Amino acid sequence: MGLKLPGTHLTRIDTRLLRGELRPNEPMQRHVSWRAGGHAANCYRPADLEDLALFLQAWPRHEPVYMIGLGSNLLVREGGVQGAVVLLHARLNELFIVEQDEQGGLVYAGAGVPCPKLARFAALHNLAGVEFLAGIPGTIGGALAMNAGCYGSETWEWVERVKTIDRSGHLSERPANDYRVGYRQIALRDSASSDCGQAWFAGGWFRLPAGKMETSRQVIKTLLTARIKSQPLGLPNAGSVFRNPDGEFAARLIEQCDLKGLRIGDAMVSTRHANFIVNCGQATATDIEAVIETVHNRVLARLNIALVTEVRIIGQDKEHQL
């Protein structure tokens, strides 16, 4: 049995072995934390990792593929995205202890596991180090891909090795030292060894030191309290929009340029935390991107500092709408 796919190319893929759900013309505002954006020409929710591999093998190689977790670091332009968006949250969700002794343990977490879930799981098993993940509103796949961090800690401090899946559906395991790790960025040291540079994290093994459950729980509680006080969690947002420049904080620079409260349509620079852009109601992706560009341009003009976006922006402008 074949399935005709919408879009520029009338392509067919064999779906007999696939167990996931394929939806055409899916509104991406349902899947991103900003609650704004265009449609995906095709949206696939795999049944599991094996099913994802089969989907990637079947999907036409000329059609792009995007992987997302909770959509907490993503903006989809109003014109939408061609190809396929794959939803990993609650699908690649394995989470278990591989080994543990009095010194610590090794935990495996799939790419679709929410970061706070790993933080709580480690605490429950008397393992320390990843309490900060309780403050990351994304999945392990995204945390690995961008070396997510907060409160002075980063994801790759604890990674021993990772599992990847490439555009052909081939699974590999790589040690952490195969990657160059930087602030909010990760890259293979030997990029030629990947499938034309297109591969995604399917999961990771985290080597954690021994801790105490109650101590870790208290650290998590303290971090979440600080997050609630400092971040505009009552309105849809995507977390920090810009990376912190060396020796500086993006929020301080934005506030220094009197940009708190800047509003275009229903998109606004938060009055609580200047590095957050919130959806005040009916903001469009175009509104949000306009605020991002305005903030970037004003900080550059006034302070001669070019802020780099931390959020990922994909898709086409509205005039090229699917």
Q: Which of 216, 240, 270, 289 is catalytic?
A: 240
Q: Which of 63, 153, 160, 184 is catalytic?
A: 184
Strands 277-279 and 267-269: antiparallel
228 CB-side CA count, 13 A? 7
pLDDT of residue 16: 75
CA distance 237 to 74: 10
pLDDT of residue 13: 65
pLDDT of residue 12: 57
* Cα dist from 112 to 27, 122, 194, whole Å: 20, 16, 22
Whole-angstrom distance between the N-terminal and C-terminal Cα of the chain?
A: 26
27 CB-side CA count, 13 A? 8
For the full predicted model, state whether its pTM sits above 0.85: yes
Q: Which of 26, 131, 289, 310 is catalytic?
A: 310
Q: Is there a catalytic annotation at residue 19? A: no
Q: DSSP string spanning 260-315?
A: TT-EETTEEE-SS-TT-EEE-SS--HHHHHHHHHHHHHHHHHHH-----B-SEEES
* Nearest 10 degrees: Cα torsion 255, 256, 257, 260: 20
pLDDT of residue 296: 98
**Closest Cα to residue 138, out of 109, 155, 114?**
114
pLDDT of residue 136: 94
132 class by beta-carbon count within 10 Å (0-12 exposed, 13-18 middle, 19+ buried): buried
- The per-residue pLDDT for range 9-31, each reduced to its tens digit, is 334 566 678 999 999 999 999 99
Task: Report whether pLDDT(263) > 90.
Answer: yes
How many CB atoms neighbour CB 298 within 10 A?
Answer: 17
Q: Is there a catalytic annotation at residue 310? A: yes
- The per-residue pLDDT for range 173-189, each reduced to its tens digit, is 999 999 999 998 899 98
Average pLDDT over residues 258-265: 98
Task: Report whether pLDDT(61) > 50.
Answer: yes
